[in-house]
A and B are shown apart, each in its own frame.
Chain A
């Protein structure tokens, strides 16, 4: 079984619709992250959470919100989707321990298309 799972894997929606992407992990990690990937731009951080009570904005948080429902679950919402939010979205986790803090483990990704 995958350690980090994302649902849905693919989604096509229309402009203005509310969309939620979900991420679950069984690695027991405290830190969770949401990224988006666009061609030629690498991975850009949207939001991150160091524990259930901690939510932080990344470099491109406008138009997105998140919810950390439990240690193992971190969801990303697009309140009113727009076409330039069409991208590949990744969830990632990392260990609380300081020694391996930077080693992140990625989910399989969600391909979102906004028409």
Chain B
């Protein structure tokens, strides 16, 4: 059974801190690892990584995928109160895997940034 586990489950920091969110996965015929941000309702797409060692950057957010060790991290530098959200990690599979065309989600990490 495909599985995605995130840690920590919750995190409280102050503005300006740097945070690292972790995601480990076990997915047959792994294809891609996605990060979503969920503030009040719908998850919004942040990154999709398919190749190991590739670091994606978008402003203060960056993410790395390690396909050998089966994990990804999401880094947020100089955090702001607007970064407070649930961060969801998800993994998808290639054709032939049981999760082809589907995403397996982790439990999410609740990030709270205080002023």
Interface residues in chain A, defined as those with a beta carbon under 8 Å from any beta carbon in chain B? 31, 33, 35, 40-45, 48, 50, 58, 88, 90, 94, 98, 101-109
Contact = CB atoms under 8 A, between A and B. Distances in A.
Interface of B: 4, 6, 9, 31-32, 34, 41-45, 48, 88, 90, 92, 95, 100-103, 105-108
A40 B88 CA distance: 11
B92 A109 contact: no
A41 B107 contact: yes
B41 A108 contact: yes
Contacts of A94: 101
Nearest to A50: B101
A102 B107 contact: no
Given A42-B106, A42-B107, A108 B42 contact: yes
B108 A42 contact: yes
A48 to B, nearest CB: 6
Nearest to A48: B102
